[in-house]
Each structure stands twice: as structure tokens, then as C-alpha cells.
Structure 1
């Protein structure tokens, strides 16, 4: 009996020691629930989604979501000393480091990291467009506005234990207020194109399933979706035409769902939207488990929606305990030509761009206490042209039919 007690006590001590060792690996600022562990070879393993945060604020801070931000003093070289910004900025962005700093960010293992730069605009003035050059890559940002902080994501492959982020130019920006590293992929190879839809040929489309019927589609819409080539067809010149038609008081159109579904990556489409009022053309995504999980619990990302005017919308939806859920909507101005609408999607990160210009970035930490982040699951794509509904309203008599959205390409890289 004494021997058994001794062995049990020893096992308790070993377990306690292991617990302490694992606990010491979870550094301040690491993403909750992504605790670092050791393998038998003692190599630190984080896995996709590991996140760490640094701020120009002296001494580090804790943000409103409870995330700890470490001071960047130990990881930055060059650049200007951190300068305090005007009052009103949230804690991680209250200071900004100008000039051309280089950040050497310690990471737990090789892989590709999504590095988010939080960039402070000048306190006065502003510009219709700004840019930052990171590791030789120029990233454009829309509408800085005086005193605002904008976020920009760049992918950094890391073969060792340090992600190097060199800022060589800031255009219409005051400095870098904070930087975050998130492990996006385990490999360091370039992104692979897993879906490349060029819409070559003619006739019906393969790889996409028509969703059929009327019934309002949750928005009191007027159209009935069909599988007719009159509503969706490859045109023979490398485009897909999705056409809304009116026959008396009946509207028909098409809604196509991709048979390809995946999690994370760079998703984009080049397309031209119709301009008639009362139409809602869209390029968007839903959680692949929406049939069982329901909406908005499955999550929705609208990469492009248009009301037929000179602006488009990028919108994110998720659950908050209410029937309609939460929504974050952003806008961009465009003309009626073809444009490239894209999404950067990595763990805890969504970034919307139009023609390569960053319009908005949404992060898990930006949500309120009751707003759930549900974008860590596979999603599929949709292309459609809706007619009427609560948003955008019934087409007025001035809207002629047919109205067509032309899609040049759809790509998904991971």
C-alpha cells in the first residue's frame, strides 16, 4: 500500500510539473484557447490560429476584449520613437511609431503568418487613399480619414522562428500603432489555386448547382430562381451571364452555389454588375453547414453586393442570440465597369478589397460580447441576381429588363 501511495504521489507531481510547463508556454497576448504545448522533442507547437499582439504603447496594454498586447520595444528596430496620438484611440492604438521600422516577431514554428499592421493616419487632413510598403509589397488602403486607424494584412512565410516585417514606406499614414501575427498556414509555399473558374465555352455551367424556387429567400424578394439558360449561361467569350428577367408580373433569375467549399484563403471574382434600381446582384459565401446549423449561426460573408448605383457593399453576418444576428457593413465607390472583389480570410481575420485596395478589415476581437465569430469553418460561394425585397426595394418603372451580371472569373487560393 505504501508503495502504491508513493507512486501515486509521484504521478501527481509529474502531472503538476507538466501543467506548469505547458502554462509557461502560453505567453501574454496569445489567442485564447490556442495554448502552446511541447512535443516529445520539446519543439513548441502552436498550430494554425496561434496569435500574438504587440503595441507601440509603452509597457503594453489590455484591450476591451481582454487581449493582452505586449510592448513592441523588444521586437522593433529603426523607425521613429513612439508618439502619443490624440485622445480617443483605443488602448492598443494610442501610440504610433513613424519612419521605417522593422519588426522581428518571435513565432513558435515555421509556417505562413498573416501579419496585421494597425496603421495610424495623420491627426489632421487625410487622403482618399493611403499605402504602406511591407517587405517590398505595396499595400493600398482606401479613405484614411484624419486620426483613424486602418488595418492591413500581409502574408509572411517563416522558415525559422522569427517573422520579419520591414516597413519601407508610409504614404498618407502617420505610423504603425500595433502589429499582430497569426499563423495562417503550416507551410511556406506560395498559395495554391484550388478553384479557377474562367467560364470558358458555352452552354450550362459545371461545378455550380442552381438553387431553385421563389418564396422570398428571407428578404421578401420577388424573383423565382430557375435552371434555365435564359437566366444563367456561359456566353462563349469567357464570361458567365446571370440575367434577371420580367415576364408580365413574374421575375426570374438565377442563384448558383459552388460545389467547391473550403476554409481560409484568398477568394476573388472579376465581375460587372447591372445598374438597374431594385436589383441586388451578389458574390458571397455561406457556412457549408448552413442546412443543419441555420442562418445566421453558419456565418455569411458578402464579398460584393450592389444596389445598382455607384457603390458596392461588403458585409459580414454572424449570430448574437437574435433572429437577425449581427452585421458589419462597409462600402466602396465604383464605376459600372468590371472590378475585382476579393476577400482575405485567415483565422480570426477577414479583409475586404476592391481592385486590390483594402476597404475594411474585421477581426474576431472587434466583435461585441454577444456577437459570435463563426468564420472558422468551410464555406461555399454563391453568385446571384435578386429582384426586389426589403433591401433594395421593388424595382421602379424606370428599371428595364432584362438586367445581367457578367462574371469574368472566380478564384480561390489557399
Structure 2
């Protein structure tokens, strides 16, 4: 989930954006930084050019049909064996304003539904960063390669809110963003009048290229329940909502110099951000508490990778 400054320019079918290899998305979607952009918040310090076929971990479990799911039936969740609650208030690469916490008030399961809740409350994170807002960002501990990933979700609407359901490639040795690959299945900002989906990959020199689709929706669409999905193969990526395709990127459509950065196992991430370069810092205080709701997350026909801790995307420093 990255900041979409200059978002309109990313809505062409294929966009080759020259962005330095050290730039990272702190959340989901691309931010287009100035010359003084800092390194990616989730990225290790290794500056090795991204590899389109990164190292794979041991212990891969592959299968057909449903291979992984969380139906959120356990009221003690979210399950600590399945999800990592990421923490911090350092802006996440996008100048976001929330402090992601591991507090049960910000992420909990009730009545078979995962609640990710953004609240108006001043806090300070473990590194001393202050924030007027709290929220949650959950990442699967397992990573997945290829197959279908879907979730039934209802998102909030309000100025300053940024809901996302996305996949972020592991940091296998020698791999950095954007070479690890990023699949942005669903993003809504502010009043949820536009559904956005995107992919972010690396060029031969390690800079960013992006492909994105946007669909205008009415005021109530985002706030209703919908099934968002990505069908991911070695040769294509297709996004859909409620079974209707939003767009397909075939590998064969890449332009010279664009790498297919999507053969890397990727974690599922679900988060509700506040503010940031895309939704801006114009926050509707009356929108809080804002609830991002998840009925289920399901993975089909995919490899399930038990990823070493050292490969997990880290919080910003």
C-alpha cells in the first residue's frame, strides 16, 4: 500500500515511472517522491538489484483447492499464529498519521468478523513517535505464491481514511522493493468513491514501474460487503470484485526493461491508514471510530510458504 501522489498518471494500462530503486511504499500503492526521498520503510538496507526469480524458502506446501483460510470464527483472534500485528507511527513511507498498534481495541474478532478499527486517540509508539490516531495493520506470517486470494470486506468512508487489501513480496536474500513485487488488490481513500487496484514491479535498473486500474463507484458501494480477489499465475495477474474482472496484466504485455517481479512469495496485508500523501491530512474527526470489516480471507491453488522471520517485511525505524 503506497502513497498515490500523481495517481492519475498511473491509471494508463502500462506506466513506466522512473523512480529510484531505494524508494519504498510504506503501505500499499506507489508514492512518487522528490529527490530527497528516504529508503523504503519496509525494506532491508541491502541495495542488491532485484532478482525476478528470488530464492525460495524450504518447506513449501502446495495444493489444489482451498489451501489456507481464516474465517474469523475464533473470538480470541486475530490468530497470533496466522497474523502479525505490525506496529509503529513513523509514517510508513507515506506520511501517514496513524499509530499501528497490537491493541485489541484496534484489531479484534467478534461475531465471525475481523474488525480493524481506526480511533481518534493520542498515543506514542515504542520509538517515541506521537500520533493522534490509532489503527491496525495485519500481515500473514505465511507467504503465498500464485493461485487465487480473496477476501469479503466492508470498508469505512470518511475524509482521510485509506483502506487496503494487498500482497507484499517477501524480502528473500538479495531482494528489495520493488523487486520483491507488490499486488494491490483493493484500495479506497476518503469517501470511497473509487476502487483502485495496482501492481508494482522493478525495471532492469531497479527503478519502479506500475500498472493500475480504477473504477468509479457510488457513495454506498465501498461501505457494502464485496468479495475482492486476485488470480495470480506465473504469466498474468487479474483483479476482480464480486466475480467481475477489473483488469488483467499479462506478462507478455511488459515493455522492454520491465521485470516480472511476481514470482516471489507474498504476504497478505490488511490495514486501515489515516492521512498520508494520497488521502491527504484533511481528516474528518467525525469518522472515528472507523471500522474496516473482514468476513473471511481464503487462498486457493497456491503454494504456502513458511517464511523465515528474517524475510518478513519490517516496520519502519
Q: Give 1:370 deviation, angstroms.
A: 2.3
Is residue 2:293 matched to residue 1:406?
yes
CA contact (8 A) 1:348 1:375 kept: no
Aligned position for 1:278:
160
Alpha-carbon displacement from aligned partner over 1:332-379 (angstroms, at most 9, x marks no partner): 344120100001111111001110001100011222212211111211
- Unaligned 5+ runs, structure 2: 1-62, 123-130, 302-317
Aligned position for 2:197:
314
Aligned counterpart in structure 1 of residue 89 of structure 2, from 214, 217, 230: 214
Q: Which has the larger radius of gyration?
A: 1
Aligned position for 2:238:
351
TM-score w.r.t. the length of structure 2 is: 0.67
1:94-105, aligned counterparts within 5 Å? none
Q: 1:198 to 1:395 in 2, by over 3 A?
A: farther
Q: Give 1:321 deviation, angstroms.
A: 5.8
Alpha-carbon displacement from aligned partner over 1:101-154 (angstroms, at most 9, x marks no partner): xxxxxxxxxxxxxxxxxxxxxxxxxxxxxxxxxxxxxxxxxxxxxxxxxxxxxx
Is residue 2:172 matched to residue 1:299?
no
Alpha-carbon displacement from aligned partner over 1:11-43 (angstroms, at most 9, x marks no partner): xxxxxxxxxxxxxxxxxxxxxxxxxxxxxxxxx
1:320-359, aligned counterparts within 5 Å? 320=203, 325-334=208-217, 335=221, 336-359=223-246
Aligned position for 1:200:
73
Q: 1:309 to 1:324 in 2, by over 3 A?
A: farther
Distance 1:217 1:327 in 2: 19
Distance 1:285 1:398 in 2: 29
Distance 1:225 1:291 in 2: 27
**When you count strand as a share of all residues, which structure comes out higher?**
1
Aligned position for 2:113:
239
Distance 1:339 1:290 in 2: 33
Distance 1:213 1:272 in 2: 24
CA contact (8 A) 1:332 1:354 kept: no
Distance 2:92 2:103 in 1: 19
- Unaligned 5+ runs, structure 1: 1-189
Distance 1:218 1:406 in 2: 24
- Match of 1:202, SS state, is coil
CA contact (8 A) 2:107 2:116 kept: yes
Q: Give 1:204 deviation, angstroms.
A: 3.2
Distance 2:209 2:286 in 1: 32
Q: Give 1:305 deviation, angstroms.
A: 0.5
CA contact (8 A) 2:161 2:283 kept: no
Alpha-carbon displacement from aligned partner over 1:179-235 (angstroms, at most 9, x marks no partner): xxxxxxxxxxx9321111110131331110111112111111111110001110001
CA contact (8 A) 2:181 2:264 kept: no
Is residue 2:130 matched to residue 1:255?
no
- Match of 2:287, SS state, is coil
Higher deviation after alignment, 304-313 or 344-353: 304-313
Distance 2:257 2:207 in 1: 13
Size of the aligned set, in residue pairs, is 224
Q: Give 1:399 deviation, angstroms.
A: 4.7
1:53-72, aligned counterparts within 5 Å? none
Q: Give 1:277 deviation, angstroms.
A: 1.7
Q: What is the root-mean-square deviation in Å for CA atoms of aligned residues? A: 1.9
Alpha-carbon displacement from aligned partner over 1:68-96 (angstroms, at most 9, x marks no partner): xxxxxxxxxxxxxxxxxxxxxxxxxxxxx
Aligned position for 1:287:
169
Aligned position for 1:101:
none
Is residue 2:146 matched to residue 1:264?
yes
